[in-house]
Amino acid sequence: MSEEKLPLSPYVPDASKDMAYYYIDEHNLCLTHSWDNGKPDSIGRTMITYEIYDDPKLIEGIVNLWQYRADFNDKMVGMRHPDIHDAKGRYAKGYWHNRMSRDHYNYTLIALKLWEKRTGKRHPKLEEIIKETPFGIRRMARWTLGLILWSKSLVGNKFALWIFLMSELFMVNLIYVPIWKLGMKLAKWDEEVDQEDWVKTLLQDQPKWKQRIDKIIYPSYAISFSAKQLYVTPDSFPKMKKALQKSLLKMVGKTNYVQQMYLGKKDIPRDKVEAFKTMRGGRWSGYLHGRSDRNMYVFPKGKYTANLQDVDLVRHLYNETQID
C-alpha cells in the first residue's frame, strides 16, 4: 500500500493579510503583505508558488515580465515587477533600475521547465528568452559560462549540458566543498538543528573573522539555486547529474529537507516534514545554525491559514519525490 500524500494548506490567490503572508496581485505575481510588498523579488516567489500550487496564471505573470524595450535598444529584458517605475514610466532607480538579475533569469527558466514537465510541451517563450536576452543582463550581472551552458542545455543542446555538468563537478569538488569544509571547521559552525532546537544566534553578532569566513564559503542560497537548476536539468547524462547532486549535498544543512530533495536525496523523514512550522525569513535558503544572517522565526500557531509557502514547499517535494 502506497504512502498517503501530505496535505497542503488552502491556496487563496487574493488572500488578505490576516489570512496569509503571501498573495497574488493583478499581474499574476506573488507578493507579500510586508512593507514593500516584495515587488523586487516577486519572480522567484512566483516560481515557487507555481511549483507548489500549479496555478497556470502564474506562468503567464512571469512570461509577461519579459519584453523588448526601446529604452534598451529593442533588446529583450526582464522587469522585476510591472509597477516599479518612476513618474514618467521609466524603470525606477530606487529598485535597482527594475531590471532582473541572473537570479530572476534563473527562476524564469526553472518555472518554464516545470511548466514543460507538467504539460509535456515546451513553452514557446523559453527558447526566445534564452536566445534574445543580452549577455549583459544588467551592469555587474553578466552571464557566467555555467549559466550560458545550462540555459542551452534546457533547449536540447547535449554538448552544452555535458560541458556544464563536467565543469560544475570540477568546481564543486575541487573548490567549493573543500573551502566550505575548512570554513565550517574554523568557525565551529555545527550541523543544522530542528526548528524547536534552534536558538537564534545571528552571524552579525559574531566576531568579524567569522563574518569574513561566511563571505568566502559557498552560501545556502547559492546551493538552493544550484539544486533547483539541477531539478529541471535534462537527464541526458544521469550519472554525471547524480554525481553533481551528491557533491552539492555535502554542503547542505542536515535539516534542510527542501535542498536535499531537490538534489535527489531519498529517505527524508516524514515526521520531520509533517512537523515543520511556517517561518519568516526564507528558511529553505538560509541556515538553522550559527551561520544564519536572517531574522527567521516561527510564526505563532494559527497566525496564517492559507498559502503557507515554506510548509507547502517541503510537503509538495515530499509528495513528488519520496512517495512511490
Does one domain contain both 177 and 305? yes
Does one domain contain both 153 and 135? no
Judged against a pLDDT cut of 70, whether residue 268 lies above it is answered with yes
Handedness of CA 80, 224, 8, 192 (dihedral sign): negative
Does one domain contain both 41 and 62? yes
Q: If pLDDT is split at 50, 70 and 90, which confidence band does 40 have?
A: confident
**Domain span at 61:** 1-143
pLDDT in tens, 41-71: 899 999 999 999 999 999 999 999 998 877 7
Contacts within 8 Å (CB) and 24+ apart, 216-223: 216/179, 216/183, 217/179, 217/180, 217/182, 217/183, 217/184, 218/176, 218/179, 218/180, 218/251, 220/253, 220/256, 220/259, 220/285, 220/286, 220/287, 220/291, 221/285, 221/286, 223/248, 223/251, 223/252, 223/259
Does one domain contain both 63 and 185? no
Taking residues 186-202, what's their average pLDDT? Answer: 91
Does one domain contain both 185 and 214? yes
pLDDT in tens, 93-147: 544 456 677 888 899 999 999 999 999 999 999 999 998 876 554 554 556 888 9
User: Residue 75: its pLDDT value, please?
Assistant: 79
Does one domain contain both 124 and 161? no
Judged against a pLDDT cut of 70, whether residue 153 lies above it is answered with yes
User: Residue 70: its pLDDT value, please?
Assistant: 78
Count the domains in the chain: 2
Domain closes at, from 117, 143, 169: 143
User: Residue 94: its pLDDT value, please?
Assistant: 47
Taking residues 294-298, what's their average pLDDT? Answer: 89
User: Residue 90: its pLDDT value, please?
Assistant: 53
Domain closes at, from 113, 143, 173: 143
| Grid cell listed for 268 | 527524508
Taking residues 311-315, what's their average pLDDT? Answer: 98
Taking residues 215-225, what's their average pLDDT? Answer: 95
Does one domain contain both 168 and 252? yes
Domain closes at, from 109, 143, 177: 143
Judged against a pLDDT cut of 60, whether residue 92 lies above it is answered with no
22 DSSP β-pair partners: 32
Does one domain contain both 315 and 301? yes
Does one domain contain both 138 and 148? no
User: Residue 201: its pLDDT value, please?
Assistant: 83
Taking residues 5-10, what's their average pLDDT? Answer: 97
